[in-house]
Amino acid sequence: KAGVTQTPRYLIKTRGQQVTLSCSPISGHRSVSWYQQTPGQGLQFLFEYFSETQRNKGNFPGRFSGRQFSNSRSEMNVSTLELGDSALYLCASSLEGGLDGTDTQYFGPGTRLTVL
């Protein structure tokens, strides 16, 4: 079974631009989550989607948004990029998102975003 895939793997943008990252979950997984990883803040939760609905959102400004499509694929968008948005953005998928019992999150390789 194919794992979680993320595109693109690397992105370089300048301040003020916007960016869209894409994530395809493991087949059969309906929950998709996004995390930001930086050296200073570690792994921080951005948001989680299930059946095209956002069920939870982390403590990030409104410039960070996401959506999920009917095939469970997800995109996240960051508008008006700032230097501090440079990070590794990780997508994770799980069956239902409840994360109990056998429902575990599996992560993609990430998208490395650099803002100049």
Partner 1 sequence: GNSVTQMEGPVTLSEEAFLTINCTYTATGYPSLFWYVQYPGEGLQLLLKATKADDKGSNKGFEATYRKETTSFHLEKGSVQVSDSAVYFCALADTGGFKTIFGAGTRLFVKA
Q: Which stretch binds partner 1 (CB under 8 A): 12-20, 49-57, 69-77, 78-86?
A: 49-57
Say if residue 113 is exposed, middle or buried (CB neighbours under 10 Å; 0-12, 13-18, 19+).
buried
User: According to the binding rule CB under 8 A, does residue 55 interact with partner 1?
Assistant: yes
Q: Which member of 31, 36, 74, 93 binds partner 1 (CB under 8 A)? A: 31
9, amino acid identity: R
Interaction mask 73-112, partner 1, x per CB under 8 A: -----------------x-x----xxxxxx-xxxxxxx--
Q: Shortest approach of partner 1 to residue 108 CB, angstroms?
A: 5
Helix (H), strand (E), coil (C) string for the chain: CCCCEEECCEEEECCCCCEEEEEECCCCCCEEEEEEEECCCEEEEEEEEECCEEEEECCCCCCEEEEECCCCCEEEEECCCCHHHCEEEEEEEECCCCCCCCCCCEECCCEEEEEC
Q: Which member of 13, 17, 45, 79 binds partner 1 (CB under 8 A)? A: 45
Q: Which residues of this protein are in contact with partner 1, per CB under 8 A?
A: 4, 6, 31, 33, 42-43, 45, 48, 50, 55-56, 58, 90, 92, 97-102, 104-110
